[in-house]
Amino acid sequence: MSYLALSKITKRYGALTVVDAIDIEIEEGEFICLLGPSGCGKTTTLRMIAGFGEPTEGRIVLRGQEISSPHHIVPPEKRGMSMIFQSYAIWPNMTVAENVSFGLELKKLARAEIRRRVGEILEIVQMSHLADRYPAELSGGQQQRVALARSIVIQPAVLLLDEPLSNLDANLREEMRSEIRRLHEEFRITTVYVTHDQSEAMATADRIAVMNQGRIEQIDPPHVIYTQPRTEFVAQFIGRTNLLRASLRDGRLDFGSFKLSPSDLRTPLLSDVGEESLASLRPQGVTISSMRGGALGKMPGFAGKITSRVYLGEHWDYTVCAEDGHTTLKVSSSPLQVHEVGDLVWLTIDTRQVAIVGGTAAA
């Protein structure tokens, strides 16, 4: 039995369906990220888990007990959950230590126990030296650490985070997402994290549920989501990719400028692909070499001309058009591998990184 289960959860506002019959099963101690664009239903789903909204259909079960359905709602304060909001919501008139101890005091724990647990968690989040400061005296990252400490110290059944890093600058976001993952490894609290930032999801989650228009398009570990997207939306939303049309002819996938056998793919063809299909190929799945180097091994490839390039420090981004004019690919390569616009090059396709994401008959 799953620790936390959402079964056919649906939320409607009049004729508008915001969350559409989603199913998620979460194991105890697992970190799940709900990832998607604004308006996809991820925050509405989180609020239903917290008890701030009731589902129109479906049910939510925690540790075998129903906590949400259209006819039965366990109040938020009785669910044993902690929630961290975008604004952190820490008390401005309380010190760091007082903010962190607030939930423990509501539980009426002994003062000695409260002091011990507050001291331990402040040490873990590296805020012990700021215990007597007020929120106005803290940076955004420090306030976020206080919010995390306050939520974790009560040892919640589930930790819920709603876009917790959106108010931080880029460097702090990177630092805090690592901190959130470190704290999860330490406490193993079952966690549901909402974000529209794919980097946050990839860096923190055990599994990512990619949402689109109220539905879950795919739920898998980060590396599977990236390398084996199941739909066109997932392929485009997670990272950058080349979307290529292919025809199944004489048992081979014909991409125009190159062909490959379905047996070369890392995963089998989808049963509903048909004769016309759409494939995702990440820029890192293509090797670029000078025409003198030619093909690498037995991998398929083709000749092309570089039409544009961008230097991004960690890598070059090239755009290459096939000599036959059928295919244009975005290619990432080492910063030391320098080619000029107009150069003739050879592209080699790593077939293990080609993922079929659906049919194109209706396109």
| Same domain as 209, residue 107 | yes
For residue 360, the model assigns a pLDDT of 57
| Same domain as 173, residue 64 | yes
For the domain that residue 259 is a member of, what is the CATH number? Answer: 2.40.50.140
Q: What is the pLDDT of residues 335-344, one digit of tens each?
A: 999 999 999 9
Average pLDDT over residues 33-51: 95
Q: Whole-number mean pLDDT of the chain?
A: 90
Chosen domain end from 208, 232, 256? 232
| Same domain as 344, residue 308 | yes
Q: Picking from 190-194, 298-302, 348-352, which range would have the lowest pLDDT averaged per residue?
A: 298-302
**Contact assessment for residue 201 and residue 165, using Cβ atoms and an 8 Å cutoff:** no
Q: What is the pLDDT of residues 174-195, one digit of tens each?
A: 888 998 999 999 999 999 999 9
| Same domain as 261, residue 196 | no
| Same domain as 308, residue 270 | yes
Distance CA 151, CA 286 (A): 45
Structure tokens at 148: 């995390």
φ, ψ for residue 5 (rounded to 5)?
Answer: -130, 130
For residue 274, the model assigns a pLDDT of 57
| Same domain as 245, residue 227 | no
- Which domain does 281 fall in, by range? 241-359
* Confidence band for 270, pLDDT divided at 50, 70 and 90: low
Q: Picking from 129-143, 216-230, 267-281, 331-345, which range would have the lowest pLDDT averaged per residue?
A: 267-281
For residue 361, the model assigns a pLDDT of 43
Average pLDDT over residues 120-125: 92
In the predicted structure, residue 79 carries a pLDDT above the cut 50: yes
Average pLDDT over residues 140-154: 90
| Same domain as 260, residue 224 | no
| Same domain as 327, residue 267 | yes
Average pLDDT over residues 314-340: 93
Select from 155, 81, 77, 151 the least CA-distant residue to 113: 155
- No. of helices (H) and no. of strands (E), the chain: 8, 21
| Same domain as 293, residue 199 | no
For residue 90, the model assigns a pLDDT of 87
For residue 167, the model assigns a pLDDT of 80
In the predicted structure, residue 273 carries a pLDDT above the cut 70: no
**Contact assessment for residue 254 and residue 246, using Cβ atoms and an 8 Å cutoff:** yes
For residue 268, the model assigns a pLDDT of 64
| Same domain as 227, residue 246 | no
Average pLDDT over residues 24-35: 97
Chosen domain end from 232, 251, 273? 232
Distance CA 106, CA 235 (A): 46
Structure tokens at 321: 């058009």
Average pLDDT over residues 99-115: 91
| DSSP conformational letter for 94 | S
| Same domain as 209, residue 248 | no
In the predicted structure, residue 89 carries a pLDDT above the cut 90: no
In the predicted structure, residue 363 carries a pLDDT above the cut 60: no
Cα dihedral angle (329, 335, 338, 339), rounded to 10 degrees?
Answer: 10
* Confidence band for 196, pLDDT divided at 50, 70 and 90: very high
Select from 228, 338, 249, 354 the least CA-distant residue to 299: 354
What residues contact residue 212 under an 8 Å CB cut-off, 6+ apart? 36, 37, 40, 233, 237
Select from 137, 102, 134, 129 the least CA-distant residue to 117: 102
In the predicted structure, residue 357 carries a pLDDT above the cut 60: yes
Parallel, antiparallel, or unpaired for β 57-62 and 207-212? unpaired
For the domain that residue 110 is a member of, what is the CATH number? Answer: 3.40.50.300
In the predicted structure, residue 293 carries a pLDDT above the cut 70: no
Could you give the number of structural domains in the chain? 2
| Same domain as 272, residue 219 | no
Chosen domain end from 172, 203, 232? 232
